Amino acid sequence: LLSPQVRGPGLGVIGVSKGAEVALAMASFFPQVVATVWINGTSSFYGNPVVYRDLQIPAIPYQPERVVFTDVGALANSAIFPDPRDPSYSSSVIPTEKIRGKVLFVVGEDDRSFDSPLFARLAMARMAPQSCRLLSYPGAGHLIEPPGSPLCSNSSIRKTPRPVAWGGEAQAHAKAQEHSWREIIQFLETQLGPVATMKL
C-alpha cells in the first residue's frame, strides 16, 4: 500500500551530481515527471551510455588525464568533463526541450567537481523560459544538501585514488542550503500540491 503522502499522477524527482543528470534524463523521456530539482549536475550524458528499451544514447567520455590536484591533494574534477558544445558530442546532449514539466536548477558557483553553471545554462537554453528557473549561489560547492548538513569540501568516493574536491565556503554554502531548501519545498508543493495530512 502507498503512503497517503504518495500522490499522483505527476511525479517529482530530485538529483544531485550524477543523480541530477539522471533526473534531467527522466524529465526528458518520461512525461509523468512534472517537477525536477537538478542540483549541480550535467546537461549531457557523461561516462556511461544510456540504454533503455530501444533508446541508445552515447556518453561523452571522461578525460581523467585533465584532473587538477588541489593544495591538499584532492581531485578537482571539473576539467575531466569535455565541453559538451563540441559538435562531435551533440548526440550525447540530454534533450531538455522535450521536458513537459518544470525544472528548478540549483547551482553552487564554487563547485570544484562539475562546471555546474555552464551545464545549467546549456540545459536551460534548450527549454522554454517558463519551464525552468535557476538558483545560483556564489561560494556554494557541489554538495548542496538540506540545511544543517555540514559542509563537505573534500571526501573519498568509490573508485577514486584520492579524495574528491567538492568546493564551497562554509558560511556561503550554509546560506545556500538554507535558501535552496525553502525554494525546493515551495517548488515541489507548487508543482505537486502540498503534502497530504496523515491521519493515524
Q: Where are the domains of the chain?
A: 11-192
Share of the chain above pLDDT 70, in %: 92
Q: What is the mean pLDDT of residues 94-113?
A: 97
142 is catalytic: yes
179 is catalytic: no
Is the pLDDT at 123 greater than 90, yes or no?
yes
Q: Which residues pair with 56 in a beta bridge?
A: 51
pLDDT one-digit tens code per residue, 150-186? 999 999 888 788 999 999 999 999 999 999 999 999 9
Of 116, 142, 153, 180, which residue is the catalytic one?
A: 142
CB 32 within 8 A of CB 10: yes
pLDDT at position 4, please? 60
Is the pLDDT at 9 greater than 90, yes or no?
no
37, amino acid identity: V
17 is catalytic: yes
For 125, residues 6+ apart whose C-beta sits below 8 A from its C-beta are: none
Is the pLDDT at 198 greater than 50, yes or no?
no
pLDDT at position 199, please? 45
Of 17, 28, 44, 113, which residue is the catalytic one?
A: 17
Q: What is the mean pLDDT of residues 102-107?
A: 98
CATH topology of domain 11-192: Rossmann fold (3.40.50)
Of 44, 78, 110, 111, which residue is the catalytic one?
A: 111
Q: What is the mean pLDDT of residues 68-72?
A: 92
